[in-house]
Chains A and B, each alone.
Chain A
Amino acid sequence: MKSTAAGLPLSYRLAVASRCLAALFGGYALAAMAGVLLSQWLPLPRADAVQVGMMSSFLFYLGAFIWAFASHSAWRAWLGILLPSLVLGTINGLTYWVARP
Chain B
Amino acid sequence: MLAIALFAFAGCAALCLAMDKHFSELLGRKPRPGQTLVLRLAGWLLLALALAAAVRHAGWAIGLAELFGLLMASLCLWVFALPYRPRWLLGLAALSLVLAPFSALGLI
Direct contact of A and B (CB under 8 A): no
Q: Which residues of B contact A (CB under 8 A)?
A: none
Q: Which residues of A contact B (CB under 8 A)?
A: none
